[in-house]
Amino acid sequence: MDAVFKALADESRRSILDHLYNQGGLTLGDICEPFVESMSRQAVMKHLKILEEAQLITIVWSGREKHHYLNPVPIHAIQDRWIRKFEKQRMDALSALKHALEGTTPKTKGKKHGSS
């Protein structure tokens, strides 16, 4: 999760993500286009690497062409961690109800928390 916050803590990288949100499957050249005044190709490549490491973009190779797609799943994980907590409680309640109705016993061991 550190990598995601670090990647998002930069206006240029957020702009690149906005660009990919509007249009998926862009090549490096396509991504550079709107930033031609403000960023060198080298700088864009550096940003893309950081975004890729944070899993905020997905690369799909098509022959020798590298296409970039926005991958908002890690951002959703952030939302899940802090915003959807109450929804999770509802899910747990539903699961408990299911066990009660089916007469099965849910395991009572404490839940392990994932590292990410």
Partner 1 sequence: MAQADQDFVYVTYIKTTPEKLWEALTSPAFTRQYWFGIDVTSDWKVGSPMTYISGGETKVDGKVLIADRPKLLSYTFHETNGDASAEPPTRVTLEIEPEAGTETVRLTVTHTDFVANSKHRPSISQGWPAVLSGLKSLLETGKTLQFEM
Interacting residues with partner 1 (CB under 8 A) = 23-26, 55, 58, 60, 69, 71-73, 75-77, 79-80, 91, 95, 99, 104, 106-107, 109-114, 116
State the minimum distance, in angstroms, from the CB of residue 52 to partner 1.
10
Distance between CA atoms of residues 46 and 93, nearest Å: 45
Distance between CA atoms of residues 4 and 56, nearest Å: 7
Q: Is 35 helix (H, G, I), strand (E, B) or coil?
A: helix
Cβ nearer to partner 1, comparing 37 with 114? 114
Cβ nearer to partner 1, comparing 64 with 111? 111
State the minimum distance, in angstroms, from the CB of residue 107 to partner 1.
6
Asked if 28 contacts 36 with a C-beta cutoff of 8 angstroms, the reply is no
